[in-house]
Amino acid sequence: MWGVYAVRGPDSGGTAGLDLYYLGYRRDEASFDQGTDREVRHSWGVRAWVMSTTVDYNTEAVLQAGTFGQSRIRAWTVASDTGYRPVASVRLGVRADVTSGDADRHDDRLGTFNPLFPKGDYFGLVSSLAPSNHIDVHPQVTIDPRPDLVIRTSWLFFWRQQIDDGIYGIPGNLIRSGEGTQERFVGQSPGLEVEWQATKQLSLTGDLSLFTAGPFIRESGPPAEDTAYVAGWITYRF
């Protein structure tokens, strides 16, 4: 991997910024629903963000080109996280993202977006899906009823962007092929997180999430089970 990244720092008020970047990436054995071959991918991206007491947004767009064996790569994404605070203790937000998928597994063009190295909880702690060949809408509500308590709720809805392409995991592996399928809706995932700063050194966090398998999961073959995730942990800072 190689690249260059340029950042225009926040303005005088510290409320806005702009990033521009290029990233190059090579894998000798990359696997997509189209097959396995050598991947050389070039990503050009721009990210703009604004933060204020009432409105915030974080928007990013990326174009990708390169080669996959003898095929050309033409992929893209647009991702956004927008929030509004009607009062200081409440944030109403929505994430909306789309990444391109491969329209035809048999042509000489690969349209599957490669997110490179997304964090493991990109869509929440229970989700094993990566932002490739997908559309998601992710409403969120964050409440700070007290300075030491934060409650976050969210609900993820996930579709495939192209029917002829499958869904992928965080490492970039193909989880389920789209061959012979017609359903787009992959599933939904509600989640709840509570964080309590009990003392200056001690904090307690609890998470509850559920992923419900949608029509595509059932259509693409077993197993097609729902997934539940419950976790709690204690952090102490010396």
Q: How many helices (H) and strands (E) does the chain have?
A: 1, 14
- CATH class of the domain defined by 2-236: mainly beta
Would you say the pTM of this structure is higher than 0.95? no
The amino acid at residue 162 is Q
Can you tell me the distance from the alpha carbon of 109 to that of 104, in angstroms, rounded to the nearest whole number? 8
- The domains of the chain are located at 2-236
pLDDT given at position 13: 66
Q: What percent of the chain has pLDDT over 90?
A: 86
Distance (Å, whole) CA 186 – CA 226:
12
64 within 8 A of 76, measured Cβ to Cβ: yes
Sequence-ordered list of residues with C-beta below 8 angstroms from that of 223, at least 6 positions apart, any chain: none
End-to-end CA distance of the chain: 37
Q: Which residues of the chain have pLDDT under 50?
A: none
**Distance from C-alpha of 207 to C-alpha of 183, rounded to nearest angstrom:** 30
pLDDT of residue 127: 72
